[in-house]
A = this chain, B = another copy of it.
Amino acid sequence: MSIQRNHPTITLLISCPDQPGIVATVSRFIFEHHGNIVESDQHTTNHHAGIFFMRISFSEEGFALTQSALFTTFQPIATQFRMQWSVHYSRQRKRVAIFVSKLDHCLTDLLWRWKSDELKMDIACIISNHPTLEAQAAMYGLPYQHFPIGKETRAIDQRHILDFLAGQVDFLILARYMQILEPFVVNAYTNQIINIHHSFLPAFVGANPYERAFDRGVKLIGATAHYVTANLDEGPIIAQNVIHCNHRDSVEDLIRKGRDVERLVLADAVRIHTEARILTFGNKTIVF
């Protein structure tokens, strides 16, 4: 698998009602068109008849079908099994806009990982409601767009952002953006907006989680990366982690420790998203 990772791959993400023959059919399809499978994973839920989820990657080199031919040739199989499906070419990097406010730790981390080719995505721009982090974007030669958000004008302000992004990006990262997104923004990027929340959800939903963690006297603090949905901090969780703390930690210490967890969890979530490893099911994720 590893050697192929640097070779272009094509990945199918599939979900459909469970029934015998799905794996056989899909793997035969790939084989018949000269694809060599390099990774394959599947999962079936145990609800009712069961939903089947699959991620299957094969080398693009040698595969007999063009991208459009792949679509038309696979569609009959998808129809037969009532699949929801998508296809991802590793050569086609996803394009992203990173949203920030004034805190720079998540942004700096993402930019470094992107520069180091750890995160294989194209950053279209940095969007912020403050001019604060313009220098950080400049360090990496990236465009920085300042879109102030007014208390009364949030809907209009975010409409401007949406218009600005149109056609430019595939997904959004909220790297401590600190602004609630309007439903029309969320709906425009369903399961394509990754937020980092600075607590181990569902603990400390909402504002000031570190202060509340301090007041509650917890012995660990955490961070959660999740897709954004209409309900604040309730979208499908992609990744979570925690770090231990104790009575010596002030709120400032929790914030400092938490920054490290936030950065790692967000980077993890972004990496698996860009590698097309995530399927969603209700408010849950399947991470292959």
Contacts and interface: CB of A to CB of B under 8 A. Distances in A.
Interface of A: 1-5, 18-24, 27-28, 30-31, 34-46, 50, 104-105, 108, 112, 116, 118, 139, 200-204, 216-220, 222, 236-242, 246-248, 250, 252-253, 256, 260, 264, 282-287
Contacts of A31: 20-21, 23-24
A225 to B, nearest CB: 9
Given A42-B39, A201-B203, A1 B240 contact: no
Copies of this chain assembled into the complex = 4
Given A24-B30, A242-B242, A44 B1 contact: yes
Given A3-B50, A203-B202, A240-B218, A43 B247 contact: yes
A-B pairs, top 7 by smallest CB distance, nearest first, are A217-B284, A2-B250, A3-B46, A203-B203, A24-B31, A24-B27, A219-B240
The prevalent SS among residues of A at the interface is mixed
5 contacts: A1-B45, A1-B46, A1-B248, A3-B46, A20-B36
Contacts of A237: 216-219
Contact of A40 (B23, B104, B253): B23
A136 B250 CA distance: 32
Nearest to A116: B105
Contacts of A241: 220
Indicate the member of A22, A31, A105 with the most B CB atoms within 10 Å: A31
Nearest to A264: B260
A2 B37 contact: no
Contacts of A5: 250
Given A118-B256, A200-B218, A216-B283, 13 more contacts: A4-B44, A5-B250, A20-B31, A20-B36, A23-B37, A27-B28, A37-B42, A105-B116, A202-B203, A218-B240, A222-B242, A247-B286, A260-B264
Contacts of A216: 201-202, 237, 283-284
